[in-house]
Structure 1
Amino acid sequence: MMELHGIHHVSAITANAANNYDFYTKIMGMRLVKKTVNQDDTSMYHLFYADKLGSPGTDLTFFEIHRAGRTYTGNNSISLTSLRVASDEAIHYWAGRLEEYDIQSKEVELQGRKVLFFEDPEKQRLMLVSDEQNEGVAAGIPWEGTDVPAEFAIIGLGPVKLTVPELEPTERVLLELMGFRKKTEAQLADGTNLHIYEVGQGGTGAEVMVEVEPGLQRERPGRGSVHHVAFRVKDRKELERAKKILYAAHLPNSGLVDRYYFQSLYFREPNGILFELATDGPGFATDEDPDALGETLALPPFLESERKSIEARLTPLDTKKK
């Protein structure tokens, strides 16, 4: 089986990079650690928000698609992204902060953890989860360049939720190929049943929750939807081994893709959800000063010769630290 170490990043869709930047940096207090472009379509921004260092396992990223319509939620989707905070007290802090910005939220308990459900302005489905009882994958380092107190800061990605019409095909890939193990089952207050799996050291940074909804239509993605979830592998050698495992299981995949900041491989599990495997390094400080991450448009070397034409197609986005 593969050797995965938790969630690496989650990539979603926004229709407006400037508004997205304002929300995730000014309200959510996250650090923009990389302002770059979608390497497969350089006409759109790719924004990475993370902890202080841009550590793997803390990245929530967005592709800007100007004409993205609304999302019609449904099956065969990544239907919830969660963000880690250090304590139950932080959950209470965020309930109050979101209320100040007229953002509705709902605080409940899930797996013995305090969690807070809410949506961003584009109806991105989000959940904050308390790490107070966490014993698994370590969290990231708080970003202090914000008015959010460090003890309440977002410090990484928590469990992602998949919504599928049939459990067995997805479960088989998680358990037999990706090295996940079944942790438990849980039920939300609305009666939603969740099958919960963990990998590596486990804990909030290494979980996948699967919701089975056979009667739902397939999700029609748009702004506020999730494009893919990426899982951590140590290095290129492990990525090569994962590729062989996928070939042996007759699962089509992208082969290795050089993203410069990490190496990747993409494949769809049987319910059609896009998974990425991504290496922990070399990281976002490869081409920028760690103290100035995200302040300018960063392009990998293989796109640098196209900088002028790329910048001409992008709407200017001021991310300089004031």
Structure 2
Amino acid sequence: MTDLRSLPVPDGLEGERLDAAIARMFGLSRTRAAELISGGDVTVDGAPAAKSDRVSGGSWLEVALPPAPSAPVPVPQAVPGLAVLHEDDDIIVVDKPVGVVAHPTPGWTGPSVVEGLLAAGHRVSTSGAAERQGIVHRLDANTTGVMVVAKSEWAYSMLKRAFKERTVDKGYHTLVQGHPDPSRGTVDAPIDRHPAGDGRFAVVAGGRPSVTHYDTIEAFRAASLLDVRLETGRTHQIRVHLSALRHPCVGDRAYGADPTLAERLGLRRQWLHAVRLGFEHPGGGHWVEFTSEYPPDLRHALDVLAAES
């Protein structure tokens, strides 16, 4: 059953192509938006339109959206390498390995943190959507490091609020190509879905406010190791912002990294690791902080660079 949406075009999208406007308004890929238009599922001011037509602010859109795919329900399954760093009545802090998502999503067939914890007999909060039990923040599948999961319903509410209000210290280390100039700085640039509609994100005017602070830890001949602190938590934020600076994370081919350098360092994913996470403990209000060591593949890449310097 389709979901018929009727609403005006926001003034901020004045002059945009119709397919781009629909993608932005409904969180679709550009390709999917174009398919809806060509299939006759979109009208502008009551008339059919072409995907390349430019929209005007205030024009009336009617879009027949297909039903959203149902999210998979977590099924307990063991996740090798998923280590528990800390556990108490309210929280579980884990060290997430590579190739693991935070929770099940449509189209993902690999392991997830939620399913791994359930398989190991841990209790997690049941607040929120069924597939996101206990999840208050996420790391990309190929980003490793420290994550907190809520066990109690109180912890879920308090941690969600803390992430929303930006009172959580989220620290990452990343290896980037070249040498950022200045060596320490802030990227304050809005992020939204990439216009290509291919699952990537990009710095886009009118996107969601996003702020990333970075500081160089060590400069190698071909790359720099950075300490990164996030004020916001947008999808792919570090990867997008550093790519926008023309210093993509080493190994991050989706955002313009050099595959030759990644191969030389033995990397099969982006060099990005969540090294620390600090927040007020929801059970007592005291500040807690957890850290994670580099996994072997990231450590090996640094060893190779150090030997070359």
Q: Pick the TM interval, shorter chain.
A: under 0.3
Structure having the larger proportion of residues in strand: 1
The structure with the largest alpha-carbon Rg is 2
Higher RCO (CA < 8 A, seq sep 6+): 1
